[in-house]
Amino acid sequence: MSSPAPLRKPKPFVIGITGGIGCGKSTVAALFREWGLEVLDADAMSHALTAAGGAAVDEVALAFGEDMRASDGGIDRRKLAALVFRDKNAIDRLSSIIHRHVIAGLINGVADAGRRGLGAICLDVPIPVREGFLDLTDYVVVVWASEDVRLERLAARGMEPAEARRRIRMQMTEEEYSSLASTVLRNDGDKDELRELVDGIVRDQLHARGIRLLRAEPVGGAADLGDQGDIQGDDVDHRPLK
Protein backbone atom coordinates (compact mmCIF):
# COMPACT_ATOMS: atom_id res chain seq x y z
CA MET A 1 0.00 0.00 0.00
CA SER A 2 1.49 3.30 -1.07
CA SER A 3 2.03 6.01 1.51
CA PRO A 4 -0.10 9.14 1.23
CA ALA A 5 1.38 12.11 -0.55
CA PRO A 6 2.69 14.78 1.81
CA LEU A 7 0.40 17.71 2.40
CA ARG A 8 1.41 20.78 0.42
CA LYS A 9 1.50 24.03 2.31
CA PRO A 10 -0.51 26.81 0.70
CA LYS A 11 1.21 29.54 -1.29
CA PRO A 12 1.64 32.71 0.76
CA PHE A 13 -0.34 35.83 -0.12
CA VAL A 14 2.12 37.85 -2.20
CA ILE A 15 2.15 41.65 -2.20
CA GLY A 16 4.13 43.14 -5.06
CA ILE A 17 5.62 46.62 -4.61
CA THR A 18 6.79 48.56 -7.64
CA GLY A 19 7.24 52.10 -8.94
CA GLY A 20 9.64 54.44 -10.69
CA ILE A 21 12.95 55.78 -9.45
CA GLY A 22 12.56 58.25 -6.59
CA CYS A 23 8.92 57.32 -5.94
CA GLY A 24 9.63 55.54 -2.65
CA LYS A 25 8.92 51.86 -3.19
CA SER A 26 11.78 50.87 -0.88
CA THR A 27 10.29 53.05 1.86
CA VAL A 28 6.96 51.27 1.40
CA ALA A 29 8.77 47.93 1.62
CA ALA A 30 10.34 49.06 4.91
CA LEU A 31 6.88 49.95 6.25
CA PHE A 32 5.64 46.45 5.44
CA ARG A 33 8.67 45.11 7.31
CA GLU A 34 7.44 46.98 10.38
CA TRP A 35 4.53 44.52 10.32
CA GLY A 36 6.96 41.60 10.35
CA LEU A 37 6.58 40.79 6.67
CA GLU A 38 9.58 39.43 4.82
CA VAL A 39 10.52 41.35 1.67
CA LEU A 40 12.31 39.85 -1.32
CA ASP A 41 14.30 42.82 -2.65
CA ALA A 42 15.13 42.66 -6.36
CA ASP A 43 17.60 45.55 -6.03
CA ALA A 44 19.54 43.72 -3.32
CA MET A 45 19.54 40.56 -5.45
CA SER A 46 20.88 42.57 -8.40
CA HIS A 47 23.70 44.01 -6.33
CA ALA A 48 24.67 40.55 -5.11
CA LEU A 49 24.68 39.23 -8.67
CA THR A 50 27.35 41.70 -9.78
CA ALA A 51 29.37 41.86 -6.56
CA ALA A 52 32.52 39.80 -6.15
CA GLY A 53 31.59 36.13 -6.52
CA GLY A 54 28.15 37.00 -7.89
CA ALA A 55 26.41 34.64 -10.30
CA ALA A 56 26.21 37.24 -13.09
CA VAL A 57 29.76 38.64 -12.93
CA ASP A 58 31.24 36.41 -15.63
CA GLU A 59 28.24 36.90 -17.94
CA VAL A 60 28.42 40.69 -17.63
CA ALA A 61 32.18 40.71 -18.19
CA LEU A 62 31.77 38.48 -21.25
CA ALA A 63 29.04 40.73 -22.66
CA PHE A 64 30.69 44.10 -21.98
CA GLY A 65 34.39 43.40 -21.63
CA GLU A 66 36.83 42.24 -18.97
CA ASP A 67 37.64 45.86 -18.17
CA MET A 68 34.25 46.06 -16.49
CA ARG A 69 35.62 44.01 -13.59
CA ALA A 70 36.44 45.98 -10.45
CA SER A 71 39.59 45.37 -8.44
CA ASP A 72 37.67 43.16 -5.98
CA GLY A 73 36.51 40.84 -8.77
CA GLY A 74 32.97 42.19 -9.02
CA ILE A 75 31.58 44.51 -11.68
CA ASP A 76 32.49 48.20 -11.67
CA ARG A 77 28.94 49.55 -11.70
CA ARG A 78 29.92 53.14 -12.38
CA LYS A 79 31.89 52.16 -15.46
CA LEU A 80 29.09 49.88 -16.64
CA ALA A 81 26.49 52.61 -16.10
CA ALA A 82 28.52 55.06 -18.18
CA LEU A 83 28.34 52.57 -21.06
CA VAL A 84 24.82 51.21 -20.94
CA PHE A 85 22.93 54.46 -20.34
CA ARG A 86 24.16 55.75 -23.68
CA ASP A 87 23.36 52.65 -25.69
CA LYS A 88 19.85 51.21 -25.78
CA ASN A 89 21.08 47.86 -27.08
CA ALA A 90 23.59 47.66 -24.24
CA ILE A 91 20.98 48.31 -21.56
CA ASP A 92 18.74 45.67 -23.12
CA ARG A 93 21.60 43.13 -23.01
CA LEU A 94 22.34 43.96 -19.39
CA SER A 95 18.67 43.71 -18.48
CA SER A 96 18.34 40.27 -20.03
CA ILE A 97 21.25 38.99 -17.92
CA ILE A 98 20.18 40.54 -14.63
CA HIS A 99 16.45 39.86 -14.95
CA ARG A 100 16.91 36.15 -15.60
CA HIS A 101 18.78 35.67 -12.33
CA VAL A 102 16.54 37.96 -10.30
CA ILE A 103 13.36 36.30 -11.55
CA ALA A 104 14.72 32.89 -10.55
CA GLY A 105 15.53 34.28 -7.10
CA LEU A 106 12.03 35.69 -6.63
CA ILE A 107 10.34 32.46 -7.74
CA ASN A 108 12.54 30.42 -5.40
CA GLY A 109 11.97 32.89 -2.58
CA VAL A 110 8.19 32.66 -2.79
CA ALA A 111 8.38 28.86 -2.95
CA ASP A 112 10.60 28.84 0.13
CA ALA A 113 8.16 31.12 1.99
CA GLY A 114 5.42 28.61 1.25
CA ARG A 115 7.50 25.72 2.54
CA ARG A 116 8.12 27.65 5.75
CA GLY A 117 4.41 28.27 6.17
CA LEU A 118 4.48 32.06 5.88
CA GLY A 119 1.05 33.58 5.41
CA ALA A 120 2.29 36.50 3.33
CA ILE A 121 5.42 37.94 1.76
CA CYS A 122 6.34 41.08 -0.23
CA LEU A 123 8.27 41.47 -3.47
CA ASP A 124 10.08 44.80 -3.96
CA VAL A 125 10.65 45.04 -7.72
CA PRO A 126 11.30 48.17 -9.81
CA ILE A 127 10.21 46.66 -13.13
CA PRO A 128 6.85 44.82 -13.06
CA VAL A 129 7.81 41.92 -15.32
CA ARG A 130 5.10 39.43 -16.07
CA GLU A 131 7.07 36.25 -15.33
CA GLY A 132 8.52 36.33 -11.85
CA PHE A 133 6.47 39.26 -10.55
CA LEU A 134 2.94 39.75 -11.89
CA ASP A 135 2.35 36.01 -12.14
CA LEU A 136 3.47 35.57 -8.51
CA THR A 137 1.62 38.47 -6.92
CA ASP A 138 -1.90 38.55 -5.51
CA TYR A 139 -1.93 42.31 -4.92
CA VAL A 140 0.20 44.91 -6.73
CA VAL A 141 1.09 48.15 -4.94
CA VAL A 142 2.36 50.89 -7.24
CA VAL A 143 4.16 53.71 -5.43
CA TRP A 144 4.16 57.05 -7.24
CA ALA A 145 5.19 60.65 -6.68
CA SER A 146 5.13 63.84 -8.73
CA GLU A 147 8.12 64.52 -10.94
CA ASP A 148 9.12 67.58 -8.91
CA VAL A 149 9.25 65.48 -5.75
CA ARG A 150 11.20 62.74 -7.51
CA LEU A 151 13.72 65.23 -8.87
CA GLU A 152 14.17 66.71 -5.40
CA ARG A 153 14.85 63.27 -3.92
CA LEU A 154 17.28 62.35 -6.67
CA ALA A 155 19.09 65.66 -6.24
CA ALA A 156 19.48 64.82 -2.55
CA ARG A 157 21.33 61.68 -3.68
CA GLY A 158 23.71 63.83 -5.68
CA MET A 159 22.16 63.21 -9.10
CA GLU A 160 22.26 66.11 -11.56
CA PRO A 161 18.81 67.31 -12.74
CA ALA A 162 19.47 66.44 -16.39
CA GLU A 163 20.57 62.91 -15.47
CA ALA A 164 17.59 62.46 -13.15
CA ARG A 165 15.16 63.55 -15.87
CA ARG A 166 16.81 61.23 -18.38
CA ARG A 167 16.49 58.23 -16.07
CA ILE A 168 12.86 59.06 -15.32
CA ARG A 169 12.12 59.28 -19.06
CA MET A 170 13.71 55.87 -19.63
CA GLN A 171 11.24 54.20 -17.29
CA MET A 172 7.59 53.31 -17.57
CA THR A 173 5.06 56.12 -17.29
CA GLU A 174 2.63 56.58 -14.42
CA GLU A 175 -0.16 55.32 -16.68
CA GLU A 176 1.76 52.16 -17.56
CA TYR A 177 2.48 51.39 -13.91
CA SER A 178 -1.06 52.24 -12.79
CA SER A 179 -2.61 49.92 -15.39
CA LEU A 180 -1.01 46.99 -13.53
CA ALA A 181 -1.88 48.16 -10.02
CA SER A 182 -4.32 46.84 -7.46
CA THR A 183 -3.77 50.15 -5.69
CA VAL A 184 -1.61 53.25 -6.20
CA LEU A 185 0.02 54.91 -3.19
CA ARG A 186 0.76 58.60 -3.67
CA ASN A 187 4.04 59.38 -1.95
CA ASP A 188 4.30 63.17 -2.07
CA GLY A 189 3.81 63.65 1.68
CA ASP A 190 5.61 62.56 4.80
CA LYS A 191 6.38 59.11 6.12
CA ASP A 192 3.52 59.07 8.62
CA GLU A 193 1.01 59.61 5.80
CA LEU A 194 2.60 56.79 3.83
CA ARG A 195 2.56 54.54 6.91
CA GLU A 196 -1.20 55.04 7.25
CA LEU A 197 -1.71 53.91 3.65
CA VAL A 198 0.40 50.78 4.21
CA ASP A 199 -1.47 50.05 7.46
CA GLY A 200 -4.71 50.15 5.49
CA ILE A 201 -3.42 47.55 3.03
CA VAL A 202 -2.37 45.28 5.90
CA ARG A 203 -5.83 45.54 7.46
CA ASP A 204 -7.82 45.17 4.24
CA GLN A 205 -5.73 42.57 2.44
CA LEU A 206 -4.03 40.54 5.17
CA HIS A 207 -6.01 40.80 8.40
CA ALA A 208 -9.22 40.35 6.41
CA ARG A 209 -7.81 37.04 5.15
CA GLY A 210 -6.96 35.86 8.64
CA ILE A 211 -3.26 36.66 8.33
CA ARG A 212 -2.63 38.22 11.71
CA LEU A 213 0.36 40.49 12.09
CA LEU A 214 1.64 42.75 14.83
CA ARG A 215 3.50 45.91 13.91
CA ALA A 216 6.72 46.85 15.62
CA GLU A 217 7.13 50.37 16.94
CA PRO A 218 7.69 52.72 13.97
CA VAL A 219 11.28 53.80 13.53
CA GLY A 220 12.05 57.39 12.54
CA GLY A 221 9.80 60.09 11.18
CA ALA A 222 9.82 61.97 7.92
CA ALA A 223 12.84 60.93 5.90
CA ASP A 224 14.00 60.61 2.34
CA LEU A 225 11.03 58.78 0.89
CA GLY A 226 12.71 58.01 -2.40
CA ASP A 227 14.56 54.83 -3.33
CA GLN A 228 18.26 54.11 -3.32
CA GLY A 229 18.39 52.26 -6.64
CA ASP A 230 21.32 52.48 -9.04
CA ILE A 231 22.49 50.75 -12.19
CA GLN A 232 21.38 47.35 -10.93
CA GLY A 233 17.97 48.36 -9.66
CA ASP A 234 15.56 51.07 -10.79
CA ASP A 235 17.59 51.90 -13.86
CA VAL A 236 18.44 48.58 -15.48
CA ASP A 237 15.44 48.54 -17.79
CA HIS A 238 12.91 51.11 -18.88
CA ARG A 239 9.94 49.16 -20.24
CA PRO A 240 7.59 46.45 -18.97
CA LEU A 241 8.77 42.98 -19.99
CA LYS A 242 6.33 40.36 -21.19
Name the domain count of the chain.
Answer: 1
- Residue 87: name the closest of 55, 67, 63 by CA: 63
Whether residue 74 contacts residue 50, with contact meaning beta carbons closer than 8 Å, is answered with yes
- Looking at the domain assignment, is residue 239 inside a domain? no
Rounded Cα distance, 203 and 113, in Å: 21
Residue 42 domain-assigned (yes or no): yes
Look at residue 227 in the predicted model and tell me its pLDDT.
Answer: 55
In a domain, 3, yes or no: no
* pLDDT for the residue 242: 40
pLDDT at 238: 40
Q: Is 237 a member of any domain?
A: no
What is the domain extent for residue 153?
13-209
Question: What are the distances in angstroms from CA 17 to CA 2, 139, 223?
Answer: 44, 9, 19
Return the pLDDT at 134: 93
CATH of the domain at 155: 3.40.50.300
Q: Please provide the average confidence, as pLDDT, over all residues in the chain.
A: 87
Low-confidence ranges of the chain (pLDDT < 70): 1-9, 217-242
Does 223 map to a domain?
Answer: no
**Any domain includes 234:** no
Please state, in angstroms and rounded to a whole number, the distance separating the CA atoms of residues 78 and 162: 17
Say if CB 229 and CB 200 are below 8 A apart.
no
2 in any annotated domain: no
